Amino acid sequence: MDVAREGVRERRRKRRLLLGLGGGAGLAAVIGFALLLEPAGPSVDRSTVVVDTVRRGELAVGARAPGTLVPVVVRRVAAAVDGRVAAIHVLPGAEVDPGTVLLTLENPALEQQVEAADLELAAAEANLVDRRVRLRREALQQRSQLASVEAEARQAALNAEADTAIHAEGIIGRLALEDSRSLAEELAARAAAEAERLRLAEAAAGAELEGEEARVNSLRAKAVLQRELASRLEVRAGIAGTLQEVAAEAGQQVTAGHDLARVAALDRLKAELRVPEAQARDIEIGQTARVDTRNGIVNGSVSRVEPAVREGAVTVDVALDGPLPRGARPDLSVDGLIEIARLPDVLQVGRPAVGREGERIELFRVGPDGRSASRVAVHLGRVSVSAVQILEGLAEGDEVVLSDPGQWAGAERIRLR
């Protein structure tokens, strides 16, 4: 016989209610605790990011830029005369001497002018010889005549002297003495006139010869110039070096002044660097530099900074001090490093993927456990090729993730595994 138990159902209902309330409170506690926890953040393989340690020491601030080797001495070979390119004897890349004939031009009109100038000079020289001989013959005749008159004058003077003596003795009369004296005076005057005529004739002959010689010299200079112009039909290098360019083709008609070739001297080269505009503002003439030719490093110094900015870069010339490595030649691609300044004792770290000089950026600093990194604001100072000065935000010994933090945008922490 079953006995009815009172209150059992009520106790079961109360127990279920208490269990439900307890489970709800536990779930609420778990949810609240989860809400209080910070997000774990994305997980990153440590081997895929760049991590560096903040250190203190000297920082060399410099600018790295690509460039090329260019010759210091470049000669543009231009046509000296009009002509047609008859032949090209040397091709670009060949080494040449100052006398190497690069091209040959043709100009028939110039060749005719040379022949005409030579003929005109020869005729003038022959005329000068003839004129000199004729004037010398006339001068000899004049001298001979003067000598004859002078001899007669001397004889007349002697006769007059003798007549004076015998007149005193009464041998000849007064009239005969006067005739003798008159003849002597007449011949003396005639001799003086002949001497003056000879002097004037010699002076005139000298002036005439000087005029003829001047004409001959003028024609000789003209002939030399014509021959010089004709010799320019053979276009020569002018300097020792490498032929870089031939700017004409066989059969092409060129005029005087037309560029025909370019020759570069190989004994002196410089580096022409293209420095980004942001790094070029602190570059000055005289700063030291190092140029990597891929086959060796050459020291140098900044010799010129172009004032204009072209395509976001400034052209900087570096004069090379030491001998060039083997294989260095014009147009060879090089890398240059210009040292701008040296900071003796600064806090520094490897150069981050983002950020420029003076900017404030955010990086991830590795925690003490080495398994996580949190975002931190960092104030950058001077920037070198591979390092950057730290002004604020980091301390010596801190480990920093240098990779671009933009790939973890929105995350305050990342996990390193």
Mean predicted confidence (pLDDT) in 275-301: 88
Residue 184 backbone phi and psi in degrees, to 5: -65, -40
Q: Between residues 172 and 99, which one has the greater pLDDT?
A: 99
- What mean pLDDT is reported for the chain? 84
Interval 28-54: pLDDT, tens? 555 544 444 445 568 888 888 889 999
Mean predicted confidence (pLDDT) in 190-209: 84
Quick one: pLDDT at residue 87? Answer: 93
pLDDT at residue 251 greater than cutoff 70:
yes
C-beta of residue 92 within 8 angstroms of C-beta of residue 260: no
Interval 226-246: pLDDT, tens? 888 888 899 999 888 889 889
Tokens 């300097």 — which residue? 239
Whole-angstrom distance, CA of residue 87 vs CA of residue 350: 60
pLDDT at residue 305 greater than cutoff 50:
yes
pLDDT at residue 26 greater than cutoff 90:
no
Question: Structure pTM?
Answer: 0.54
274 Cβ contact partners less than 8 Å away, ≥ 6 residues apart: 65, 66, 67, 313, 314, 315, 316
Of the listed ranges 80-89, 245-254, 323-332, 355-364, the one predicted with least confidence: 323-332
Of the listed ranges 157-171, 182-196, 234-248, 256-270, the one predicted with least confidence: 157-171
pLDDT class of 1 with cuts at 50, 70, 90: very low
C-beta of residue 301 within 8 angstroms of C-beta of residue 288: yes
Say what percent of the chain tops pLDDT 90. Answer: 27
Distance of CA 303 to the CA centre of its chain: 11
Quick one: pLDDT at residue 29? Answer: 54
Whole-angstrom distance, CA of residue 126 vs CA of residue 108: 27
Tell me the C-alpha to C-alpha distance, in Å, between residue 254 and each of 89, 107, 156. Answer: 17, 11, 81
Of the listed ranges 40-54, 147-161, 163-177, the one predicted with least confidence: 163-177
β 83-88/51-53 pair status? unpaired
